[in-house]
Structure 1
Amino acid sequence: MKKLLSILLVIQAVSIHHVHAQCDPATPQQNAAYEKVVKELQNQFRNNPPSGDWKVFDERSSLGKLELSDEYGKIFRICGDRYDLTFQRASAASQQKARADSAKAIGDTITQQQHSFVMSTDSVYRESDPNRTSNMAQSTVDINVEMNAGNYRVEEPISNRFAASYKTIPVKGAPLALQIMLKPNDAGVASRPETVVLLGNWKNNLQKNPRGDKLYHYSYKKGGTMIENMIVTIKAPFDVANEIIKKIDWQALSNTLTK
């Protein structure tokens, strides 16, 4: 009987977690707070590309579609709480389009698919041709922003994310910033650089948990029901990322967060 009761309690707990992990519609106040953050992200990053012939090729956000989830227990995490921006050199984009048009003319569907869309940097580093990988890595920049994260993981063995090196770097207006060189992984993704800027109540408190994750933990002040933090990841060579960092008003972005 005790064993049966234990099983029923486990099933009930799983069911409750499943129900509470679903997203609930955000309040108008929460949506307004989110839109304020996204608009400032657009203002800062779209208007400050790296020097040269860079153009915005893709931009995604959940502006106007904010939902809240309690998957972190008492801390609410926003579902779809992302802003993503891709820059690509105009010259590289022209070459990419020319290859796609040429492939279309001769019926080469494989080449056409490879060159008819803007590739994320993760896709770039999976390329089997080393020369093409190098060229695209130098001509594509991804800026990925996650909001209201409970942790930032430098390393995460379960997802095969390991760092060859990492260090903190000074960024005016940001409490914490990192320069990371990731190791190649089993999925075929090559070694690649990431520069990360963390805004909000982040502390330089790198820790390691029993699973082997190396992470920074975030301490919420308002319970996470509004936008309290941002993790800005710039996937680009370090010199390009540093140039972007210097152009951004990080204090203006920080001012959009709930204090």
Structure 2
Amino acid sequence: MKKLLSILLVIQIISIHQTRAQCDPATPQQNAAYEKVVKELQNQFRKNPPAGNWQVFDERHSLGKLELSDEYGKIFRICGDRYDLSFLQASAADQQKARADSAKAIGDTITQQQRSFVMSTDSIYKESDPNRTTDLAKSTVDINVEMNAGNYRVEEPISNRFAASYKTIPVDGAPLALQIILKPNDAGIAARPETVVLLGNWKNNLQKNPRGDKLYHYSYKKGGTLIENMIVTIKAPLDVASEIVKKIDWRALSNTLTK
């Protein structure tokens, strides 16, 4: 019954997305603004991996093919105004590559697609082997960047996102940053901790709406036609995320935003 309800919920969310979200072509000015942000994200994050045997495993952006989405479009990220980067430890990267090569050899398209599908509210990779889930949580760093978000949701019941704990943390050059421990989902899969840095005109104004969302609301100065804010989510063990946060020049990233 729970599985059926989950499937119906996903269908409902997709329906909302299709009816309320549009992917609009970017203007030359918007392309230039996006390119400026993404190039600085690459400069900061690709050049500052965690200490140890980490390597870039995957990177996603829409340079040259940007389409813009409203906030509903960011549920499944069908439009392209975002940036994603994954680091894996060398041994995990070798295992992932072998798994993908094996899937390709036998025509397992689901396993192949797992590498290319990103959700902003994902739990750690769901695996039948609990040990593999634990290993992936320790050996994978995902950096997900949303741009021009109207809200940042700490909790969102419709997507089964609930926080066991959350707190603000100081980050030099950022108006707001959070450390969040998410509760396991309804299948019992534990989510990775999230360290979130918000750049732009964010305020420490946590609100709760009638749907049960706990969120921070963003106030646009220029109307949001160019990139005015970023939400940088680092999904990694807290010590690894803390190390990454200290290495990044957040002021340089903030300077790419439209003021």
- What band does the TM-score fall into relative to the shorter chain? 0.7 to 0.9
Quick one: structure 1 residues 146 and 187, their matched pair in 2 at CA, closer, same or farther if it must change by over 3 Å? farther
Matched letter for residue 49 of structure 1: P
Is the contact between residue 181 and residue 192 of structure 1 (CA under 8 Å) also seen in structure 2?
yes
**Partner SS, residue 192 of structure 1:** coil
Quick one: structure 1 residues 79 and 158, their matched pair in 2 at CA, closer, same or farther if it must change by over 3 Å? same
1:46 aligns with 2:46: yes
1:36 aligns with 2:36: yes
Q: What's the CA shift for 1:63?
A: 1.2
- Where do 1:158-197 residues align within 5 Å? 158-197=158-197
Q: Which has the higher strand share?
A: 1
Matched letter for residue 133 of structure 2: T
TM-score by length of 1: 0.80
Q: What's the CA shift for 1:109?
A: 7.9
Quick one: structure 1 residues 236 and 20, their matched pair in 2 at CA, closer, same or farther if it must change by over 3 Å? closer
Aligned residue in 2 for 1:23: 23
- Structure 1 stretches of 5 or more lacking a match? 1-17, 73-77
Q: What's the CA shift for 1:24?
A: 3.0
The worse-fitting range, judged by mean Cα deviation, of 211-220 and 188-197 is 188-197
**Partner SS, residue 93 of structure 1:** helix
- Where do 1:17-96 residues align within 5 Å? 21-68=21-68, 79-96=79-96
Q: Distance in 1 between matches of 2:20 and 2:161?
A: 29
- Structure 2 stretches of 5 or more lacking a match? 1-17, 73-77
Q: Distance in 1 between matches of 2:189 and 2:61?
A: 25
Is the contact between residue 155 and residue 215 of structure 1 (CA under 8 Å) also seen in structure 2?
yes
Q: What's the CA shift for 1:23?
A: 3.3
Q: Distance in 2 between matches of 1:116 and 1:206?
A: 36
Aligned residue in 2 for 1:211: 211
Quick one: structure 1 residues 43 and 203, their matched pair in 2 at CA, closer, same or farther if it must change by over 3 Å? same
Aligned residue in 2 for 1:10: none
Q: What's the CA shift for 1:79?
A: 3.9
Alignment RMSD (CA, Å): 3.0
Is the contact between residue 124 and residue 192 of structure 2 (CA under 8 Å) also seen in structure 1?
no
Matched letter for residue 160 of structure 1: N
Is the contact between residue 96 and residue 115 of structure 1 (CA under 8 Å) also seen in structure 2?
no
Is the contact between residue 184 and residue 192 of structure 1 (CA under 8 Å) also seen in structure 2?
no
Quick one: structure 1 residues 156 and 56, their matched pair in 2 at CA, closer, same or farther if it must change by over 3 Å? same
1:249 aligns with 2:239: no
The worse-fitting range, judged by mean Cα deviation, of 137-146 and 85-94 is 85-94
Q: Distance in 1 between matches of 2:61 and 2:71?
A: 21
Is the contact between residue 126 and residue 188 of structure 1 (CA under 8 Å) also seen in structure 2?
no
Aligned residue in 2 for 1:149: 149
Is the contact between residue 126 and residue 190 of structure 1 (CA under 8 Å) also seen in structure 2?
no
Q: Distance in 2 between matches of 1:228 and 1:222?
A: 8
Q: Distance in 2 between matches of 1:100 and 1:38?
A: 27
Is the contact between residue 142 and residue 236 of structure 1 (CA under 8 Å) also seen in structure 2?
yes
Q: Distance in 2 between matches of 1:232 and 1:52?
A: 22
Q: What's the CA shift for 1:19?
A: 8.9
Instruction: Give the structure with higher Rg (CA).
Output: 1
Quick one: structure 1 residues 208 and 52, their matched pair in 2 at CA, closer, same or farther if it must change by over 3 Å? same
Q: Distance in 2 between matches of 1:108 and 1:27?
A: 42
Q: What's the CA shift for 1:96?
A: 4.1
Aligned residue in 2 for 1:138: 138
Q: Distance in 2 between matches of 1:123 and 1:240?
A: 18
**Partner SS, residue 193 of structure 2:** strand
Matched letter for residue 185 of structure 1: N
TM-score by length of 2: 0.80
Matched letter for residue 142 of structure 1: D
Work out the percentage of aligned pairs sharing the same amino acid: 82
Quick one: structure 1 residues 148 and 27, their matched pair in 2 at CA, closer, same or farther if it must change by over 3 Å? same
**Partner SS, residue 40 of structure 1:** helix
